[in-house]
Chain A
Amino acid sequence: MRAITLCYRKIIDANATKLWDKLVFEASYMEFKMQAQNYTTGTTFTNYADLLRHVNNAQAIVGMVTPAVSGYVQQLNNIVPDLLNNVGKRFLKFHRFQFEIINSDILDKTKHQVAINFYSEPLVWHDTVENFLLVSDQKPASNTDDELLSNLFQLQPYVNIHTIKNIR
């Protein structure tokens, strides 16, 4: 058996349709615009890539924008969005996330594209059934004969096995 953690990189841009995604899009753009202006003053740069390339300390912007989305992440109650098990329910627990700015421009909201990387809690990968992984929450020192609650789910785009470890 192996213990794994998953990373789901949820990309949000101007095409977002779900309410939560739209709220994150709007809030992160507003905050990006506000924070980036601390770095664009006196320059002609307006887009994020140029700021990173040419302006000292502009890499701090992403950390300054994160508090605009953290309230929305908290609303998820530590369950990764979008990823469903085979009965159609969200099941994957997380306690860590990393906000990422992929692209943006203080003058052009349509250029704004961000990602939230959700890092799952450790799972035990028991078996693979057709296209599905059979996993359970990893619990410390549990008796291997104990019955466990498990989930069947399918790997999908933007989901990576982030860490892996052989366990007995």
Chain B
Amino acid sequence: MERKNFLKSLMVGAVSTSVLVDACKKDTTSPTTTTSTSTSTSTGTTSGCSVIETETEGPYPTHTPASYVRSDITDGRTGYKLTVNITVNNSNNSCNALSGALVDIWHCDAEGNYSEYGGSGSQATNYTTVHFLRGRQTTNANGLVTYTSIFPGWYTGRATHIHVHVYNSAGTSLKVTQIAFPEGTGTALAAVAGYTKGMSGYTYNATDGVFSDGYALELATITGSTTAGFVLAISMSVPA
């Protein structure tokens, strides 16, 4: 009886019920444990009926990466296929390949729209919501990450670009930058020609607010065609 009262006093107002629940779980497998008890509750203060947790936590939880982690970031967006190859090296280590770095990229769709990522203003977030044209990969031994996407469109005031954020493996930011696209006759940009929007009103790199101060290091190489798809390659140095 004293023991019961003692246990009850523990439960009154107890916030950390999970400790008690865990103790009860143990009961089923190790009845000799000194904390064993014939009564418990998951809520505490009321008299009478007491509930013990009699089943497992359900499906055993497993490590699940953020849904940003994927190589194909297309998410059903239509456009000319674009393979993006980014090679990262370490400017603090003789420009050797930087492996194990996390690389986030995001860009707009053919119409120039980004995936909405708000959620804060809405009543509740449905977890089936996808974040199109956003992805995260980890650089391999050669410093390379690869994504499958579509050739970006454009929007007023900006030249075509892809956002890049490079982190070390602990998630500490190493560099936020953008990839610029080559312009002129014969380029992929000219071949895509702004999709259905055309190129009227397009902002070229020279007058772009981000790239106009020089973009030689941010300029990618792009090969391919509208029928075969394009391949973008860029190498970037970051201080790690």
Contact = CB atoms under 8 A, between A and B. Distances in A.
Interface of A: 15, 17-20, 23, 27, 30-31, 33-34, 37-38, 41, 59-60, 62-64, 66-68, 70-77, 79, 81, 84, 86-90, 95-99, 117, 119, 130-132, 154, 156-157
Contacts of A70: 67, 127
A81 B56 CA distance: 11
Interface in B149-196: 165, 167, 171-173, 176
A75 B18 CA distance: 20
A68 B64 CA distance: 8
B124 A77 contact: no
B124 A98 contact: yes
Given A70-B67, A71-B67, A156-B42, A64 B117 contact: yes
Interface residues of B, number: 46
Given A37-B173, A60-B118, A96-B126, 18 more contacts: A19-B61, A20-B57, A20-B61, A23-B63, A60-B120, A62-B119, A62-B120, A63-B120, A64-B117, A68-B68, A71-B66, A72-B64, A76-B59, A88-B54, A90-B55, A98-B119, A98-B125, A130-B48
B125 A74 contact: no
A153 B223 CA distance: 63
A63 B58 contact: no
Contacts of A157: 15, 43
A50 to B, nearest CB: 17
A63 B120 CA distance: 6
A96 B124 CA distance: 6
B216 interface: no
B124 A18 contact: no
Contacts of A76: 58-59
Q: Is the interface of A mostly helix, strand, loop or mixed?
A: mixed
B22 A17 contact: yes
Q: Which 9 A-B residue pairs are closest in the complex by CB-CB distance?
A: A63-B119, A71-B64, A88-B54, A68-B66, A37-B173, A20-B61, A70-B127, A96-B124, A67-B67
Given A17-B18, A67-B131, A86 B63 contact: no
B58 A77 contact: yes
B53 interface: yes
B52 A34 contact: no
Nearest to B41: A154
Nearest to A64: B117
A67 B130 CA distance: 9
B58 A98 contact: no
Contacts of B63: 23
B124 A156 contact: no
B19 interface: yes
Contacts of B42: 84, 88, 156
Query: In the complex, which of the residues B52, B53, B58, B125 has the most CB atoms of chain A within 10 Å of its own CB atom?
Result: B125
